[in-house]
Structure 1
Amino acid sequence: MRPSRPTARSWTSVLATLVVTAGLTGLAPAGRSAAAARPGEPARSCAGLARLTFTDGTRVTSAEQTSTTPAICRVTLRVPESINIAISMPVHSWNGRFQGVGGGGFAGVLTPPDSAAKAGYAAASTDTGHTGTPLTGDWAWSPTGMKWNQIKDFAYRSLHELTIKGKAVTRAYYGRQPAYSYWNGCSTGGRQGLMEAQRHPRDYDGILSAAPAINWDRFHPAQLWPQVVMREMGNVISPCTFDAINQAVTAACDPADGVTDQIMDPRNCRFDPSALIGTKTPCGTITARDAAVVKRIWQGPRRKDGSFLWYGLTPGTKFAGLAGSTADLEPTPFPITVEWFKWWLAKDPAFDWRSVTTAGLPAYFDQSRAEYHDVLGTDDPNLRAYRDAGGKLIMWHGWADQLIFPQGTIDYYQRVAATMGGPHRTERFARLFMAPSVDHCAGGPGAAPADPLAALVTWVEKGKAPDTLLGRNGDMTRPLCRWPAVPRYTGHGAANDAANFRCAPKY
């Protein structure tokens, strides 16, 4: 039996909302009528979509069919004032679903979501309303003040526009509305999905949010902490030394799960880097100052009195993302972090990140929260409207994320559970999975989710909630357990086979 639709509204009212909101006209079929179209096939030509008009001033800037295999209908829109949207739709074998595809970093580029279209989805993406690269944040600044309209476009307005306009164009092309709608994104894309759940809970039936860049106003200031610590202590650590330290950490903390290959849960790693003082490595001897730097990086930023500001890197996570340096020990902070401080906090093109101290960083942290939490924090735990609309949410995060601290995602999920009536009630619509030893969005020695979107689709359309996600890294598979359970080797069979692990409450 097919489960009831996740939204509380009928498709008739949804269609009416789309028509009123998007103001679509010019929908006359080109070639054959919608009634004559085969399931999954377009009802009009791709080129004919160029004639679509919108009463809000949105205009079609291109509509063309690719010569690739499979063929894709690509449409681009310009939403006033400056939001660009790219829509990719399969010419043949549409699966009847819509997918919103998230971006990365500061966005600023328009990439057609062809990969989703090749998988059968009608899909849409956006540049979020400005032009630049995902690593540049100067677009939000001007000598006379911050560009708040563009900041709001980046934070949330462009995402709703992507959704409304993307669905409307999909309906115009195929002659029928999508049966289900999904959001799929990692990092900034993960934040975008949660923003949709918080601000527009009826936009998506299912949201896949990976390594979400929520807590944006806090983790960005915290990302500079490793560099500030190294500079202030006069000890920029070489990549080689950091690698040697991580190898020792892994050797000490890895066996807790019953098999030696990766750290399954860094919360249980109590390794003291002071134990490595005097250890010789290919790049020299580990010193007391090296150990002290690592301790402070793992601890995370603190106020002068030692009170908590934000999280640090988890033991075993690569240092290079936030504590990077060149071969000649020149520090290389994460570019987005430097942009955040220069344009969004200091608001000074001449700003030098080297002026930030451990004593001064808390002031920047507090400023970041005060100015940007409400627009970019994306950490509202009240998801009642999304739950009540029937939406389903899967979140996952790599334990070895070297850019966005996974503890922040856990903190958010725990606050959601506390707000929504406890873990058991929350798991009826939202679940979190942690991926041991997986880097930011992918990579590392761990097993990242192989197809979490398929698990979300099954949950939404068949009512079967995932107890685990299958993780894969080459030939190795592992079960990714729903929070707070952890994978543990049974002691029998190949250690690279998920079938030989079980989810346990703890180690």
Structure 2
Amino acid sequence: MSALLTGLALTIGLTAMSPTGQAASPASGEPVRSCASLPELTFADGTRVTGAEETDAICHVRLLVPGSVNIAVSLPAHGWNGRFQGVGGGGYAGVLTPPDAAARAGYAAAATDTGHTGSPLSGAWAWSPTGMKQDLITDFAERSVHEMTVKGKAVTRAYYGTAPDHSYWNGCSTGGRQGLMEAQRHPEDYDGILSAAPAINWDRFIPAELWPQVVMRESGHVVSSCTFEAVNKAVVAACDGQDGVTDGIVDPRTCRFDPSKLIGTTTPCGTVTAEDAAVVKKIWQGPRRKNGSFLWYGLTPGTSFAGLAGSTSTGQAAPFPITADWFTYWLAKNPDFDWRTVTTAGFADWFDRSRTEYHDVIGTDDPDLRAFRDGGGKLVLWHGWADQLIFPQGTIDYYQRVAARMGGLDRTERFARLFMAPGVAHCSGGPGAAPVDPLAALVKWVEEGKAPNTLAGANGELTRPLCRWPSVPRYTGHGSTSDAANFRCAAAYGPQRR
């Protein structure tokens, strides 16, 4: 049989039958054909099913889209919940991990390598001696995820005999950026998008990640991890209780800490110097032009320096690999480039080059979400305040611009909400409470119309409500400070907001 699905002609050469040979009801959540039969599917654009095998009650399907985009689809052999889930990647992607966790939760799910293979930390694949590989860059930035979504839904329909009732995106970091690209460029693909710590503003935050290393090089020494840890302990000691609770969690919006106060302080690794304090101050400040004007954000006080200002055990500088490759292959376009030639005085030139060449390709910061909103789409964003890799201020900046474009915060919250997680690092980790099951909150919003006022957060025995921006959790003054029930969402400065 044949069907037209989202503009793609899908030709199926088999009768829709259950694995036992009996016609199955599309609403049963059971397949109408065998997993082994799926390689017989053909696509008008030349996409091929390269493999299909059922293992551990999951039908694992592999597809190859012309242009080298590989897709993995995981389909529950029994008990499909009628939903499709697109699962995001990380870093530069380049790996194909079957989305089995989503399938075990009842979803038909898909993932992609985004059109190239290699370590997610390596961006060398985009470069060649004859020029940048624009097709691969486009696949990575946008095309692969849309193809994955369309083809994944087509395979889902072929297997179960019916299209998904609802489709959801779930991703963090690069996966968060991919979800927002879908909302901006392909708003019809998903009913709900969960975007965590999104790698949007890619053309700006990626070069900004090198700033800590450039600052340290110009200071004449690499600040030790021990000294950085001492600084963060001092930040916590000074700012922890400002929210009314002493729990090791810092709200950077209210923390005003001057690192110069630590000069002369003795630490397990020596005495904090004026040079150490100056480095910390510049890292927190973020990259600037020669005249001191803003380029991008820096790390928030209390956030780990290990990712962007890391060093080796021998005290050598250790730039974050994703950023080092961005300068080497995407900006300098020279595999022999030495990042140490980048200076604070010349940093703006590199930053501007990144914006000029790649903003339209991978900036992923278009605030016009009218098509997504008008199609009934719902968006849940969340970001940890202690993110050591992607500056959380960039996500807030984007959300503010969305609100301005969409008619104000009240109107924006009808379809898109942002939740900030104090003390939470990149996607997870840190002393704060991370969202427990934000996808469930998104599903409830899409399917029941119940918009989340908070997200449930937890870190071991610690539970906290994660409040929608710009509200923050405030202790009521009664009961355990580890129990979310004893916190309310309040304005950062002002009366409570419920």
| Pairwise TM-score range, normalised by the shorter structure | over 0.9
| Pairing of 1:16-27 with structure 2 (within 5 A) | 17-18=4-5, 20-27=7-14
Partner Cα distance (2:62, 2:346) in 1? 45
| Pairing of 1:382-461 with structure 2 (within 5 A) | 382-461=368-447
Q: Of 476, 483, 492, which aligns to 1:490?
A: 476
Q: Which residue of 2 is the match for residue 323 of structure 1?
A: 309
Contact 2:222–2:315 (Cα < 8 Å) also in 1: yes
RMSD: 1.2
Contact 1:34–1:174 (Cα < 8 Å) also in 2: no
**Cα shift readout 1:228-256 (whole Å, capped 9, x = no counterpart):** 00001112111111111100001111111
Contact 1:211–1:404 (Cα < 8 Å) also in 2: yes
**Cα shift readout 1:363-383 (whole Å, capped 9, x = no counterpart):** 110000000000100000000
C-alpha spacing 1:22/1:344, structure 2 compared with 1 (3 Å): farther
**Cα shift readout 1:439-460 (whole Å, capped 9, x = no counterpart):** 0000010000000000000000
Q: Of 250, 258, 278, which aligns to 2:244?
A: 258
3-state SS of paired residue (2:253) = helix
Partner Cα distance (1:426, 1:337) in 2? 33
3-state SS of paired residue (1:181) = strand
Q: Tell me whether 1:205 sits opposite 2:194 in the alignment.
A: no
Letter of the 1:29 counterpart: A
Q: Which residue of 2 is the match for residue 176 of structure 1?
A: 162
Q: Which residue of 1 is the match for residue 318 of structure 2?
A: 332
- The gaps in structure 2 that reach 5 residues or longer are 494-498
Partner Cα distance (2:8, 2:400) in 1? 36
3-state SS of paired residue (2:116) = coil
Q: Which residue of 2 is the match for residue 158 of structure 1?
A: 144
Contact 1:262–1:436 (Cα < 8 Å) also in 2: no
**Cα shift readout 1:390-410 (whole Å, capped 9, x = no counterpart):** 000000000000000000000
Partner Cα distance (1:357, 1:340) in 2? 16
Q: Which residue of 2 is the match for residue 61 of structure 1?
A: 50
Q: Which residue of 2 is the match for residue 28 of structure 1?
A: 15
How far 1:16 moved relative to its partner?
A: 5.7
**Cα shift readout 1:102-122 (whole Å, capped 9, x = no counterpart):** 000000111100010011100
How far 1:359 moved relative to its partner?
A: 1.1
| Pairing of 1:167-316 with structure 2 (within 5 A) | 167-316=153-302
Partner Cα distance (2:373, 2:23) in 1? 34
How far 1:349 moved relative to its partner?
A: 0.7
How far 1:35 moved relative to its partner?
A: 3.8
Q: Which residue of 2 is the match for residue 132 of structure 1?
A: 118
Contact 1:264–1:487 (Cα < 8 Å) also in 2: no
**Cα shift readout 1:54-110 (whole Å, capped 9, x = no counterpart):** 1110000100001x2xx1000000000110000001111111100000000000111
Relative contact order, higher structure (CA 8 A, sep 6+): 1
Q: Which residue of 1 is the match for residue 102 of structure 2?
A: 116
TM normalised by structure 1 equals: 0.95
Contact 2:384–2:421 (Cα < 8 Å) also in 1: yes
Q: Tell me whether 1:43 sits opposite 2:32 in the alignment.
A: yes
Q: Which residue of 1 is the match for residue 467 of structure 2?
A: 481
Partner Cα distance (1:198, 1:37) in 2? 32
Q: Percent identity?
A: 75
Letter of the 1:301 counterpart: P
Contact 1:107–1:128 (Cα < 8 Å) also in 2: yes
Q: Which residue of 1 is the match for residue 62 of structure 2?
A: 76
**Cα shift readout 1:477-499 (whole Å, capped 9, x = no counterpart):** 00000000011111111111000
Partner Cα distance (1:27, 1:432) in 2? 45
How far 1:263 moved relative to its partner?
A: 3.3
Contact 1:52–1:60 (Cα < 8 Å) also in 2: yes
Partner Cα distance (1:210, 1:103) in 2? 12
Q: Which residue of 1 is the match for residue 496 of structure 2?
A: none
TM normalised by structure 2 equals: 0.97
Q: Which residue of 2 is the match for residue 8 of structure 1?
A: none
Partner Cα distance (1:37, 1:199) in 2? 31
Partner Cα distance (1:232, 1:344) in 2? 24
Runs of 4+ residues deviating >6 angstroms: none
Q: Of 334, 345, 368, which aligns to 1:359?
A: 345
Letter of the 1:187 counterpart: S
Q: Which residue of 1 is the match for residue 85 of structure 2?
A: 99
Letter of the 1:60 counterpart: V
Partner Cα distance (1:64, 1:251) in 2? 55
Q: Which residue of 2 is the match for residue 3 of structure 1?
A: none
- The gaps in structure 1 that reach 5 residues or longer are 1-14
Total equivalences in the alignment = 490
How far 1:29 moved relative to its partner?
A: 2.9
How far 1:126 moved relative to its partner?
A: 0.3
Partner Cα distance (1:20, 1:251) in 2? 58
Q: Of 331, 334, 350, which aligns to 1:345?
A: 331
C-alpha spacing 1:38/1:503, structure 2 compared with 1 (3 Å): closer
Contact 2:249–2:431 (Cα < 8 Å) also in 1: no
Q: Of 126, 131, 141, which aligns to 1:145?
A: 131
How far 1:34 moved relative to its partner?
A: 4.6
Partner Cα distance (2:240, 2:346) in 1? 36
Q: Which residue of 1 is the match for residue 41 of structure 2?
A: 52
Partner Cα distance (1:20, 1:339) in 2? 37
3-state SS of paired residue (1:249) = helix
Partner Cα distance (1:414, 1:421) in 2? 11
Of the structure 1 ranges 413-422 and 250-259, higher mean CA displacement relative to structure 2 is found in: 250-259
